[in-house]
Amino acid sequence: MHDFKYKNSELFCEAVRVGDIAKKVATPFYLYSYNTLLGHFHKLRKAFGSLKPLICYSMKANSNLSICRALTKAGSGLDIVSGGELYKALLVGCSPKKIVYASVGKTEEEIRQAIAKQILFFNVESYPELELINKVAKDLNVAASVALRINPDVEPKTHSYITTGKLTNKFGIDFDTAYTILTHRKKMRHINFNGLHMHIGSQIIDAQPYIQAVKKLLGFIQKLRKEAIPIEYLNIGGGLGIIYNNEKPQTADEFAKKIVPLLKNTGLKIILEPGRFIVGNAGIVVTKILYVKKTPLKNFVIVDAGMNDLIRPSLYGAYHDILPLRPSTIDHRLSTKYDVVGPICESGDFFAKDRILPKVNEGDFLAIMSTGAYGFSMASNYNCRLRPAEVMIRGNKSFVVRKRDSYLDLVRKDVIPEFLK
DSSP state of 159: -
As measured in angstroms, the least distance from the Cβ of 178 to ligand PLP is 16
Q: Does 306 bind ligand PLP (CB under 6 A)?
A: no
Query: Residue 121 pairs with which residues in a beta bridge?
Result: 100
Q: Does 199 bind ligand PLP (CB under 6 A)?
A: yes
As measured in angstroms, the least distance from the Cβ of 398 to ligand PLP is 26
Q: Does 112 bind ligand PLP (CB under 6 A)?
A: no
Q: Does 237 bind ligand PLP (CB under 6 A)?
A: yes
Between 249 and 324, CB nearer to ligand PLP:
249
C-alpha span between 42 and 259 (Å, rounded): 17
Of the residues 56, 68, 345, 384, which is catalytic? 345
CA 331 to chain centre: 36
Q: Does 61 bind ligand PLP (CB under 6 A)?
A: yes
Query: Residue 299 pairs with which residues in a beta bridge?
Result: 294
Q: Does 276 bind ligand PLP (CB under 6 A)?
A: yes
Stretch that binds ligand PLP, among 67-75, 231-239, 307-315, 335-343 (CB under 6 A): 231-239
Contact 263, 219 (CB under 8 A): no
Site for ligand PLP (CB under 6 A): how many residues?
A: 17
C-alpha span between 71 and 51 (Å, rounded): 19
Contacts (Cβ under 8 Å, ≥6 apart) of 83: 107, 109, 110, 113, 114
Between 113 and 202, CB nearer to ligand PLP:
202
Helices 252-263 and 34-47, packing angle to 10 deg = 30
The DSSP element (H or E) to which 359 belongs, if any, is: strand 350-359
Between 33 and 203, CB nearer to ligand PLP:
203
The residue type at 75: G
C-alpha span between 317 and 385 (Å, rounded): 22
- In the shown chain, the binding pattern of residues 340 to 379 toward ligand PLP, with x for contact by CB under 6 A and - for none, equals ---------------------------------x------
Q: Which of 165, 172, 195, 274 binds ligand PLP (CB under 6 A)?
A: 274
Query: Residue 285 pairs with which residues in a beta bridge?
Result: 30, 368
Between 11 and 240, CB nearer to ligand PLP:
240
Our answer to whether residue 384 is catalytic in this structure is no
Between 61 and 270, CB nearer to ligand PLP:
61
Q: Does 273 bind ligand PLP (CB under 6 A)?
A: yes
Q: Does 277 bind ligand PLP (CB under 6 A)?
A: yes
List the beta strands (DSSP E) in 248-330: 269-272, 283-294, 299-303, 322-324
Q: Which of 83, 152, 165, 275 binds ligand PLP (CB under 6 A)?
A: 275
How far CA 378 is from CA of 61, 244, 287, 313, 387, in Å, comes to 9, 18, 17, 12, 10
Catalytic residue positions, numbered: 345
Note the residues at the interface with ligand PLP (CB under 6 A).
58, 60-61, 79, 102, 199, 202, 237-240, 273-277, 373
